[in-house]
Amino acid sequence: MSSEAGRIDTTRGGERPRDRASGDAIVRYTAGERTTHWIVALAFILAALSGLAMFHRAVFWFSVFFGGGPWTRVLHPFIGLFMLIAFVLLAILVQSDNRMTATDWQWLRQWRDVVDNREERLPEVGRYNGGQKLLFFVQVLLLALLLISGIVIWRPYFASNFSIPVIRLAALVHAICAFVLIIAIIIHVYAGIWVRGSVRAMTRGLVSPGWAWKHHRAWFREVRSGTRSRPGTD
């Protein structure tokens, strides 16, 4: 960051770094994090489409993307398992930044300020805010339930080991968790588009100092102070 860009402007009642040079961009996500994220995203889309094709006849036509109904039934669990493995790898990369703190709970309690874009009222947050962390743990829970229920109903490998009532319950749990996960991902995508610069961060890995200061001020301070040497490290 240049000396000019690193200066602090206090003319509006608070510290604000002046983003004057494009060369001052901050690395938000490493190449490994971005690659893993998009692998998970692609696997999720395929798992969702194949699952929906089997869920209701109105969207059975999704099965054409997988070679027809029989192949959709065969491929769906393997796609889901691949998505889970990729997500675990991503979770390992970002888990240290997703620990909930008192600041995160306060951020969540001020959800009205979040919705109304009154960020000056919100507490300073780290690399991820309370909403992002909550979504992370929701995904962990849902994927765990999808794995367990999916194994129970996975024919011909495991289903024969369980009773009909257990299989029916597992099918219900699987459907509910899949529905909630789809809604959660839709919210995740919407939030990424709503906060300008977030998509660029996940495609190019970079954000401006101004973006970091506005949306993740505590993280910005860590990066600039040198207490965080690279994304994802404490």
pLDDT value at residue 232: 52
pLDDT digits (tens, 9 = 90+) for 159-212: 999 999 999 999 999 999 999 999 999 999 998 898 888 999 999 999 999 999
Alpha-carbon distance of 26 to 208, in angstroms, equals: 6
What pTM was estimated for this model as a whole? 0.83
Q: Give the residue among 156, 163, 109 at the shortest CA–CA distance from 134.
A: 109
> Which residue of the set 37, 76, 174, 188 is catalytic?
188
What pLDDT was estimated at residue 227?
67
- pLDDT in the model for residue 85: 97
- pLDDT-flagged residues of the chain (< 50): 1-22, 234
Q: Which two tokens stand for residue 224?
A: 């600039």
What does the pLDDT read at residue 14? 39
- Over residues 107-118, the pLDDT tens digits come to 999 988 888 878
State which CATH number among 3.100.10.20, 1.20.950.20, 3.40.50.2300, 3.30.2270.10 fits the domain covering 27-225. Answer: 1.20.950.20
The question of whether 76 is a catalytic residue gets the answer: no
Sequence ranges of the domains in the chain: 27-225
Question: Which residues have C-beta within 8 Å of that of residue 9, sequence separation ≥ 6?
Answer: 15, 16, 17, 18
pLDDT score recorded for residue 194: 85
Q: Centre a 10 Å sphere on the Cβ of residue 216 and count the other Cβ atoms it contains.
A: 22
